[in-house]
Structure 1
Amino acid sequence: MTSFGYFLSSEEFTPAQLLEQARAAKDAGFTRLAISDHFHPWTDAQGNSPFVWSMIGALSQTVDLPVTTLVTCPTVRLHPAVTAQAAATSSVLLGGRFALGVGTGEALNEHVHGDRWPSFDERAEMLEEAVEVMRKLFTGRQVSHRGRHYTVDNARLYTAPDEPPPILVSGFGPKAAGLAGRIGDGFVTMGPDEEAIGRFREAGGAGKPVVGGLKVCWDRDRDAAVETAHRLWPTEQLPGELNQILPTPAHFEQASELVTRRQVSEAVPCGADVEEHVDAVRAYAEAGFDEVYVGQIGQNQEDFFAAYREKILPAIAG
């Protein structure tokens, strides 16, 4: 049975707006929340980037929905021991309704200390070791660790959850899907890619949840919706590894000049055609996703939540 949540885009909205969206999502019938973890937005047009761990603390006092990070990079900008403490506290605040989505990260967010940005293979190795460190710390026992990438010296999480939060591993290619199956408690992938899910299952992910999401732009005027989506999220249409290796919003703005409105129109559900939205969300359920998170692009949040409450979510559930 697929559950449907709302995706809180930290890159696009202020903390107050994200909290208001969380309330509206619950009222609309969404049963979960996901939130992005960024240091920078993808482009200056998006204009925000609050600290995700502060936001999760606020969310825990605002609604009683489960919260998942989609996704956190626990390898460069934050040491895995620090990430483990943040995740453990989040799980305690949320009464165990927290899942830690992790990935190998993007240079956009992780280069800010001036660290070298490693190749994917090295980043995957770092992520595997980071997950090992965090799982040890989630036990609440004292941990010392000396690995290839990380050292932990007599660390203990005194505020530890009763049960460790599940660690969901993000992946967009065969190597990443295999890694997720091998070390993850679940798999995060943004497109309804049955082949990637199959690789995840074959690599050890059988019986584990698959989580994904999509962005839409609900608006009575489809042309206006396409314009909004193109202005704010052209980066979603960039090919290959560009999203992982470009270092600044300015670089993403330059690359996004190659993304056309037609590309956005064909890739993103835009406008007020109920069937277009239903089909886009349902595709994830049909591909085998256990959780699907929908994020509304732009400021037309009230109409979006009304439409999903009254039309989209009932049609999908039916």
Structure 2
Amino acid sequence: MINVGYHISHEQFAPSKLLQLAKRAEEAGFAFAISSDHFHPWSNQQSHSGFAWSWLGAAMSATSLRYGVVNCPAYRYHPAIIAQAAATLDEMFPGRFFLTVGSGQAMNEAITGMRWPSKPERNDRLKECVDIIRALWKGETVNHHGLITVEEATLYTRPKKDIQLVAAAITSETAAWAASWADGLITISQPLDKLRKVVDAWKTNGGENKPMKIKVQLSYAKTDQEALLGAHEQWKTNVFGSAMLADLRLPEQFEQAAKFVKPEEIREFVHVSPEPEQHLEWLQSYIDLGFSDIDLHNVNTKQEQFIEVFGEKVVPVLMK
């Protein structure tokens, strides 16, 4: 069964606006929503960055959608706090929340003044965090002294149901590493040859029978030009390789890096089209690779139009 989700982009819209959009997405037939968890936006033009966890409480109360959040539990947050936050959501809304974890990006995590480590060390920290979170969810008293320190931590309000813990991976190397310990995979849309390598690495290293989710970056508008310019305006700062995205610290740095990105170049990173049928064709290629949860991120600002049209012409076709 294919589930279609609506992406909650805190970098682009005010939390109050996103709450309205989540309600509209549910009415249009979307099955779930995935929330970003940023401290800074990708550019000053985007101009927002609400606190995802307080927003999730409001959104889960106002709708019946399933929700996930893309989170790094190792720097800006302590893993014990993320374990507590997730458990609280599941206690109130059993079975409707899943946690997606990744190794983080400096633009969000370096604000604490901690040294920003290399990718291998960030992976090691993430795995320690995952083990701590799972132990706390089980009701264990956790003492841990490694890259992360936890002393005498016991979670008293625990999840009512098992919370799915999903690994975020863009590269095949990260997918292969995460496959042995994560409950599922989430990645992003990219050229099919690269994406196929991510899927193969996941499946051959322990992820064969585990669910796969994908965040699809697209731009839909009434005309191709409007869709293209909307994507370029909002998303040109987020088209670089994963190493660069992880290490830049400020919106101004992303803006400088994107200064010479031309509108037509966006098509390599974002599915741009005014035709729902074309988007269906692109989305089917991800389903053919084995993705069961498709998180649609319309990167331009025309959200109501996107929800209405895709709710009528795309979501019912994929979820039939």
TM-score w.r.t. length of structure 2: 0.94
CA separation in 2, counterparts of 1:237 and 1:258? 12
Indicate the RMSD between aligned Cα atoms, in angstroms. Answer: 1.5
Task: Give the 3-state SS of the residue equivalent to 2:62 in structure 1.
Answer: coil
1:8 aligns with 2:8: yes
Runs of 5+ in structure 2 lacking a partner? none
Cα offset for 1:29?
Answer: 0.9
The count of aligned residue pairs is: 316
Identical aligned residues as a percent: 34
C-alpha distance in structure 1 between counterparts of 2:172 and 2:219, whole Å? 30
3-state SS of paired residue (2:179): helix
- Tell me by how many angstroms 1:266 deviates: 4.4
Structure 1 residues 273-293: Cα deviation after superposition (integer angstroms, max 9, x where no partner) = 122211222222111112110
The equivalent of 1:235 in structure 2 is 237
| Structure 1 residues 172-193: Cα deviation after superposition (integer angstroms, max 9, x where no partner) | 2232112220110111111261
SS at structure 2 position matched to 1:259: coil
SS of residue in 2 equivalent to 1:252: helix
How far the C-alpha of 1:240 sits from its partner, in A, is: 4.6
What is the 5 A alignment of 1:107-186? 107-146=106-145, 148-186=146-184
Is residue 43–residue 252 contact of structure 1 (8 Å, CA) maintained in 2?
yes
Once the two structures are TM-superposed, the CA of residue 263 in structure 1 deviates from its matched residue by 1.1
The Cα of 1:142 is off from its aligned counterpart by 2.2
Q: What is the identity, as a one-letter code, of the residue corresponding to 2:116? A: W
Unaligned runs of 5+ in 1: none
Q: Contact 1:99 / 1:167 at 8 angstroms: preserved in 2?
A: yes
Report the Cα distance in structure 1 between the residues aligned to 2:302 and 2:249, rounded to whole angstroms: 30
Shift of 1:317: 4.1
The superposition leaves residues 200-254 of structure 1 with CA deviations (integer Å, 9 ceiling, x where unpaired) of 1111112111111112222112212211111111133213511011011010001
Cα distance between partner residues in 2 of 1:52 and 1:12: 13
Distance in 1 between residues matched to 2:215 and 2:289, nearest whole Å: 12
| Stretch deviating more after TM superposition (193-202 or 31-40) | 193-202
For residues 40 and 269 of structure 2, the distance between their equivalents in structure 1, rounded to whole angstroms, comes to 24
2-structure distance, mates of 1:58, 1:46: 22
Is the 2:231–2:266 Cα contact (8 Å) retained in structure 1?
Answer: yes
CA distance in 1: counterparts of 2:309 and 2:109, whole angstroms = 37
Equivalent residue letter for 2:240: L
Deviation of 1:113 (Å): 0.8
What SS does structure 2 have at the residue aligned with 1:182?
coil
Q: Which amino acid aligns with 1:153?
A: E
Amino acid at match of 2:103: T
How far apart, CA to CA, are the structure 2 residues paired with 1:258 and 1:130? 38
Q: Deviations over 1:41-86 (max 9, x none)?
A: 11111111111110111111110111011x1001111111111111
Letter in 1 for 2:45: A
- What are the residue-to-residue correspondences of 1:290-309 with 2, within 5 Å? 290-309=292-311
Alignment of 1:1-318 (within 5 A): 1-69=1-69, 71-146=70-145, 148-191=146-189, 193-317=195-319
What TM-score does the superposition give when structure 1 sets the normalisation length? 0.95
Q: Is the 8 A contact 2:29 2:316 kept in 1?
A: no
- Local SS of the residue matching 2:312: helix
What CA distance in whole angstroms lies between the structure 2 residues aligned with 1:144 and 1:85? 16
Q: Distance in 2 between matches of 1:317 and 1:73?
A: 30
Quote the Cα distance in structure 2 between the aligned partners of 1:121 and 1:28: 42
Deviation at 1:143, TM superposition (A): 2.0
**Residue identity opposite 1:4 in structure 2:** V
Tell which deviates more after alignment, 177-186 or 260-269: 260-269
Distance 2:293 2:168 in 1: 14
Partners of 1:6 and 1:295 within 8 A in 2: yes
Q: Secondary structure at the match of 2:188?
A: coil
Q: Determine helix, strand or coil for the equivalent of 1:216.
A: strand
Give the CA deviation at 1:9.
Answer: 0.5
